[in-house]
Structure 1
Amino acid sequence: MSEAAAEAVVAGATGRAEAGRRAALWLAGRGIATAALDARILTLDLLGLTAADLALAGEVPVGEAGAAALNAALARRASGEPVARILGAWEFWGLPFRLGPDTLVPRPDTETVVEAALALHPPPGDGVRLLDLGTGSGCLLVALLSEWPGATGLGTDRSAPALRLARDNARRNGVGGRAGFVAGDWGAALGGRFDVVVSNPPYIATRTVEGLDPEVRDHDPRLALDGGVDGLDAYRTILAQAPGLLAPGGALLVEIGYDQEAALRALAPASGLRVEAVRRDLAGHPRVVAMRAADPG
């Protein structure tokens, strides 16, 4: 689908509301299941509008530059590119995050990690040290720092471009002064101990990656998806490193695939960890496993 194919959808003289309507119809005609929502998001963002602008001044023409931007975005969406990739940004935990080729698009299921961390007993207090392994866009680290104003945090990632984006996202969301970022393989070579360690590692079995929705398979970074032959490679590494990363009483929280709870329960004891809780996502699937050091003896 070329950008030229979308040229006739919206013209400079088209009103804002009409542009959104045409965009939705055009995307629906090309099989986009979320056509109305996608068209609304693209129209508001690319034209720099609020919902009130669209409702109260919907007759205002979009202009030539607005039409060109919207038409190009529609062509990209019709080709299967996700809205978040087109915009280069997405919202997570009510906060805005810039994205890049080396970062996942933050998903609602991952907010379950934040919820699980906030529900820890006892709750972390001032001075808590937070670690986000494989931070990507920094969404988990930034969201938790925004909830814990007395906390400091560190994010690790193998990708230098991802770390630059994460650092920028921390600054944009007002927590940059309390967040640090380090290139590395999970927690290898880190010298400190942390009260809360979180991670959303790759957990999809290699053989399954090619069968993912094309919007994920073709646009999310492969390294952030592929968890090895059984999908558990990253967990083995993280759990093996956990005893050297957790402060006394510290908690490790990892996002998991819907069918991986039993595997994590089986892996934890070998690293001296016990599963303290499993939190479910909005669909009712096990989504986060919370672990602490096992009781001695």
Structure 2
Amino acid sequence: MINDNTDTKPEEAVPCFALSKNDSYVMSASGGKISLFNMMTFKTMTTFMPPPPAATFLAFHPQDNNIIAIGMDDSTIQIYNVRVDEVKSKLRGHNKRITGLAFSHVLNVLVSSGADAQLCVWNSDGWEMQKTRSLQVPSGWTTIQSDTRVQFHQDQIHFLVVHENQLAIYETIKLECVKQWVLRGSFAPISHAVFSCDSQLVYASFLDATVCVFSAVNLRLRCRINPSSYLSPNVSSSNVHPLVIAAHPQEPNQFALGLSDGGVHVFEPLESEGKWGVPPPAENGSASSAPATPSAGPSGPDQAQR
């Protein structure tokens, strides 16, 4: 399966792909036309929407594999119907490229995020904008163009926001930040983060190749994995950094880390411990939007496999 490519430099293209809910189709783009692949035959079913603008994020509708949300480099979101080869709606609310899209099948909404540090909630029936909000920028930081990713919690009501300077949990209906962890001290910028498959943990990677495990309920640090514990001695963390984290779909304590040199590492705790770090103490009262102070966690992975 090969993506359509443009004449632009490969490193300037934004690679993006999405897997349909029934695992039968993959939609993919690398700066050129969007391709729809059949996962049973590995054949290209169709290509569509040649740039400009180029696609920068893709998401299948949770109830209809024919409906695709496509985030674009020109800051719009196009709702495309593959069956009839037609753009049904064009959503405008961001002012920089789209960097994240996530559907909630419980609330019937689409949440979008962009390089403008803006969040938008769209009704997925009529595609009207319901709410929009800028990220809470930590004191001492200026708003810069940086990818912002979103992922729904298992409850389909809250979602994780990942920005280079913060992790945050938002409630969708009011679009309010209920938990936030802000970059501080010796931490390098965040490169990626995801919920574990049961949404009880958040796995986050940093540009200095550090990996951290947080408790999702309060974004308290449970475990910090140093680069030296999984990178070869002859590999410098200044040259290699994590690009993406993928949580195992059935094992809550297992995740994979993709590196900028093409390496992939799979992490899991020691069998004797069975989980990452020490659970932080439960908080009394309602959730707060104040940054949570990370608690000390064990350093180094309990087990890493390449």
Q: Normalising to structure 1: TM-score of the pair?
A: 0.27
Pick the structure with more helix per residue. Answer: 1
Pick the structure with more strand per residue. Answer: 2
Q: Normalising to structure 2: TM-score of the pair?
A: 0.27
Larger radius of gyration: 1
Bigger relative contact order, structure 1 or 2, given CA contacts below 8 A and separation 6+? 1
